[in-house]
Amino acid sequence: MENIINFYYNLYPSELHKMYNGFYFVINGYKFLLIELILPKSHILDIYEKLMKNNIGFYIIILNKDNNPVSNFDNKEYVLLEINGDDKEVLKFEEQIYIPSKSNVIWGKLWSERIDYYEIQINELAQDKKIILESIYYYIGLAENAIYIANKYKDINENESIIQHYRMNVPIKKGDYFNPGNMLSDVYVRNIAEYIKNSFFCEKKEDKYYLEYIDSFNYTELSANLLLARLLYPSYYFDIFDEIILNDKNEDELILIINLCYDFENILIKIYNLLQKKYPIVNINWIRKRTINLLQ
């Protein structure tokens, strides 16, 4: 990473830290973040333009030596951002952004492709990983439930599409939240679901907290069902799976997630029951049966 920063920006940091899904460094009191683009550069530039139009300049793109916002290195694309605020400050509820942005994300198709990819990785790279082999098909099953719902609600209403976040780490720090490299256009329930999943496994608040949080929003039939789909999709498991397969993370990292699987099922059931009282929710047989048993 130092080579990119030196060559393209004539900057020479003494230390780099992996933070906010990028490489963080400080020079003369100025804070910077180098991020690798995971989506096409047109995407981040469009998001960035929308942020600027809404006077959200927490991150400022630094042009490289060629006067371009994007730098190419080893067949990858990078953007350097200067941080214009306290990145470690925890976001306040009223500081959330609601900027309209049309989404082209088709969750069912995207998730189906990811499951195909994971099954290839299992066969080729995970045959010696006992914890993965004993757990992953449970999570693939949850993902298939999510795909079933998403395929029924793939025509997203433009009015329900705003700037959202790829992942919602907890606590939510401004360095993560305002990072345009962590943003995409999607249905507004994405942030709600990703926050709940990450909070559940990292903070484990009482179920009442999550139910009241969900109930504080108004939904349509589409957004209520997509909220359930997003909660069912186990991004929390697959993110760790990717790190194990691609970056040699210890598979013991999955144990906490696996040990809480039935607790998370219970909160899913309670959320399902809450939503179905107000909206037409797709029937997922095992959830409906568990709902009846849990609430008797």
Q: What percent of the chain has pLDDT over 90?
A: 91
Q: Which amino acid is at 280?
A: P
CB 249 within 8 A of CB 238: no
Query: Is 279 a residue whose pLDDT tops 60?
Result: yes
Give the residue among 228, 256, 253 at the shortest CA–CA distance from 243. 253
- The whole model's pTM is what? 0.92
Q: Which CATH class is domain 2-85?
A: alpha beta
The pairs formed by 56-62 with CB atoms below 8 angstroms and a separation of 24 or more are: 56/97, 56/178, 57/84, 58/83, 58/84, 58/85, 58/174, 58/178, 59/33, 59/83, 59/84, 59/178, 59/179, 59/180, 60/84, 62/9, 62/32
pLDDT in tens, 219-264: 999 999 999 999 999 999 999 999 999 999 999 999 999 999 999 9
Q: Which amino acid is at 205?
A: K
pLDDT in tens, 62-76: 999 999 999 999 999
Give the residue among 178, 207, 219, 213 at the shortest CA–CA distance from 195. 213
The CATH 3.30.200.20 domain(s) of the chain lie at 2-85
Label residue 104 by pLDDT band (50, 70, 90). Answer: confident
Query: Is 291 a residue whose pLDDT tops 90?
Result: no
Residue by residue, what is the 3-state secondary structure of 22-73?
EEEEEECCEEEEEEECCCCHHHHHHHHHHHHHCCCCCEEEECCCCCCCCEEE
pLDDT in tens, 48-62: 999 999 999 999 999
pLDDT of residue 295: 59
